[in-house]
Amino acid sequence: MIVVLALAAGLWGFGALFGASRQARLGMIFGLWAGVIGLHLGLPEGHPLRMATGQDARIWLILGGLAALGGLYFAGIGRLKRRFAAVVPVPTVAVFRPAELDRYARHIMLREIGGPGQGKLKAARVLVIGAGGLGSPALLYLAAAGVGTIGVIDDDVVEGSNLQRQIIHADQRIGMAKVQSAAVAMTALNPFITVRPYQRRLTEDIAPALIGDYDLVLDGSDNFDTRYLVNRVCVALGKPLISGAITQWEGQLSLFDPAHGSPCYECIFPVRPAPGMVPTCAEAGVAAPLPGVIGAMMAMEAVKHITGAGETLRGRLMIHDALFMETRVIGVKRRFDCAVCGVSH
């Protein structure tokens, strides 16, 4: 029996040495096994060849059966692995250049972000609605944080009155489209990101395709029509929405994500205010740093949501009063009769 096993090992080794395929080597060993079975069946009991090769054919039949079962098992495992690999894509590992590692070192040092979290930021695609007061700080901090692809949509141009609070723009770019001005500032801050400027108003006909191309939406728009539109589309597509708002000295912020159990924007604000009830910044004024405070918090929520760090404002509404420097966070719940995300929809 030892002689046969040695022959099998020799066939496998010589086959590998001369470049024979795995299938060819297995075929040679199968031929050896079949030959031994043939000897045992053809030669009389007690023959020297039978004595030298295990005496009984049943031993080799059992070994052959066990080898066949083992081969079927490993073949099945390999097939499952191939099918699983075809269904579940292997996540792409972010590759950072040395300059990027130096740039994001303070992030990578944070236990809650680290290298994996920075990789998630690089792979993320974030759309910002509006390049004005809230969009300005949010866009700058998303760019600085290393969010890989940032889209920004706005149909307005830079005006002198914007520069009191819209810090992404500059006096030299008055008259330029806000999205182009924002792109200039963002790429100057971080050349390792991709900026996609959309110089147009967000409308019903383009919103689904545009929002569907991103992982996360930040809404810094200044009108309720856009806010309700963005919310409806985000709910329909299952996209998380970070929405901020400001007026005079006060701001508010939340993360709306009904796909994961939190309310949507319309759950909290089911009825839009009557015209004139909530004045715009142009009508009522706004303290210059307030958009920076709320916009930076929007970017912070985005970084936390993308990396999984800490606790986001999902299911909570933050209200900030800058005049008296008071901030409170209240719990908010999903309304089952909500016209957008309720159980009947």
- As annotated, the active-site residues are 281
Selection from 276, 172, 272 nearest residue 228 by Cα? 272
> Which SS3 state, helix, strand or coil, does residue 151 take?
strand
Report in angstroms the alpha-carbon separations of 62 from 11, 50, 56, 79, 141. 21, 16, 11, 26, 69
Query: What's the DSSP call for residue 158?
Result: -
Question: Token pair of 75, please?
Answer: 């073949």
The CA R_g of the chain, rounded to the nearest whole Å, is 33
Q: How far apart are CA 311 and CA 3, in angstroms?
A: 68
Selection from 135, 125, 121 nearest residue 294 by Cα? 135
E runs forming strands in 232-336: 241-247, 250-256, 316-321, 326-331
Q: How far apart are CA 326 and CA 320, in angstroms?
A: 6
DSSP letters spanning 174-230: TTSBHHHHHHHHHHHH-TTSEEEEE-S---TTTHHHHHHT-SEEEE--SSHHHHHHH
The structure tokens 């110089």 sit at 199
> Which SS3 state, helix, strand or coil, does residue 153 take?
strand
Q: How far apart are CA 132 and CA 130, in angstroms?
A: 6
